[in-house]
Amino acid sequence: MNRQNILLFRGTRAASLAIKRRMLIFLYNLLSCSPNFRPIEIIREAFLRIGGVVFASKLSVGDNFFYLNGRNLRFGSNCTLGHFCHFYDWFPINIGDRLFCSNQLTVVSASHDPITYESTAGPVTIGNNVWIGINVTVVGPVTIGDNAVIGAGSVVLKDIPSDAIAAGVPAKVIRFKSQLPISND
């Protein structure tokens, strides 16, 4: 490797920011502990804000949280994320209020067409009061409506309407919440 290539690799602003971002994520995950221990949670929230992540209030995040860029990641208020959640935010990922997701959520804001390999990048929008099961992958551009439920192990490739219960690979609407039987117990 010649001197010019070394300077290009080490000297770029993008490489420097990527290293700083990785260090912030490392420190954030290093400080993971019980969510009831508020002083550590305040420090963890500060690391997220320094990394560019925007959240309204009370973001509860499990261990081994990862984001790619940070500036394109926005959370509403009272969101809860499980362990091993990954956000690849090449384009905006906007999450509404009161998201509850289990472990191993992966949200990717860019993909490609499987036949032509053309980019299908775009924003990912997750509405308010959404419940997401364990090991779900969301590939953008996609919108998940308000009050939706995404079943465990699902891969969301298309829009999910509001009040829908969706599951499968790829995720399909199974029924709407209005169709659920009402018990008189």
Catalytically active residues are: 112
Alpha-helical runs (H) found in the chain: 3-11, 13-30, 38-50
- Label residues 28-51 b or e (16+ Cβ within 10 Å = b): bbeebeeeeeeeebeebbebbeeb
- Taking the C-alpha atoms of residue 28 and residue 101, their distance in angstroms, rounded to an integer, is 19
Number of CB atoms found within 10 A of residue 103's CB: 17
Write the DSSP assignment of 46-58 as a string of letters.
HHHHHTT-EEEEE
Residue 142 structure tokens: 């996609």
How many whole angstroms from its chain centre is CA 171? Answer: 17
